[in-house]
């Protein structure tokens, strides 16, 4: 059962993207990754907390040999990006010479992704790419080469499928947008 509207804190949200559409976008990303990394063993670096559902579903759809690790960064407070990125929990694997794919739930301003690309790129991986479930192109404030984008969306505030509003809403299988 999928609610028609949800209320989180002081905001109302309405249905936006159903789980089936998300699954289809993830299958398409997995097919491209399976093809592009055939014969290699990439390391997927999932950015917590938001990417946990995306990362789990993507991993189940990959047929290539691969590893996954998790990092945690924070740049959000409430409904807007603070513009300041703090790395909370770092990467434990050695990535020098490895093919690395950052898994992110959403790229909007690009502040977090720019910091991650710079930080991880300094560790000299063989390659460094980004796979994001959502991209808000009109919000980007950085030049980013995003090779794997599930869905481009307008600048709506969304929750569900791992994305939250001050901690709430991550558990919904569908995505909802603020009304």
Residue ranges per structural domain of the chain:
19-156
Query: Can you give the pLDDT at residue 154?
Result: 97
pLDDT at 77: 57
**pLDDT of residue 40 exceeding 80:** yes
Full DSSP string of 75-136: EEETTEEEEEEEEEE---S--TT-EEEEEEEEESS-HHHHHHHHHHHTT--SEEEEEEEEE-
In tens, the pLDDT along 49-107 reads 999 999 999 999 999 999 999 998 865 555 555 556 555 467 888 999 999 999 999 99
Bond from prior residue into 49 cis (ω within 30 degrees of 0): yes
State phi, psi for 16 to the nearest 5 degrees: -135, -60
Active site residues: 108
Quote the CA–CA distance of 58 and 67 in Å, as a whole number: 12
State the first-to-last Cα distance of the chain, in angstroms, to the nearest integer. 21
Give the span between the Cα atoms of 102 and 128, in whole angstroms.
8
At residue 161, the 3 state secondary structure works out as coil
**pLDDT at residue number 132:** 98
**What does pLDDT average to over the chain?**
92
> Could you tell me the pTM of the whole model?
0.92
The third-level CATH classification (topology) of the domain covering 19-156 is Rossmann fold (3.40.50)
């Amino acid at each position: 059962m999928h609610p028609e509207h949800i209320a989180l804190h002081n905001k109302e949200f309405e249905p936006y993207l159903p789980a089936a559409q998300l699954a289809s976008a993830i299958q398409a990303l997995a097919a491209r990754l399976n093809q592009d990394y055939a014969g290699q063993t990439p390391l997927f670096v999932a950015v917590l907390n938001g990417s946990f559902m995306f990362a789990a579903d993507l991993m189940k759809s990959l047929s290539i040999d691969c590893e996954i690790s998790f990092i945690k960064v924070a740049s959000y407070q409430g409904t807007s990006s603070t513009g300041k990125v703090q790395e909370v929990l770092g990467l434990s694997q050695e990535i020098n010479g490895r093919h690395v794919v950052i898994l992110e739930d959403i790229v909007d301003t690009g502040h977090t992704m720019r910091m991650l690309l710079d930080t991880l790129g300094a560790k000299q991986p063989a390659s460094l790419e980004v796979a994001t479930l959502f991209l808000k192109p009109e919000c980007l404030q950085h030049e980013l080469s995003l090779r794997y984008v599930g869905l481009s969306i307008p600048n709506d505030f969304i929750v569900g499928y791992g994305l939250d509003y001050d901690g709430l809403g991550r558990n919904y299988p569908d995505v909802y947008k603020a009304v």
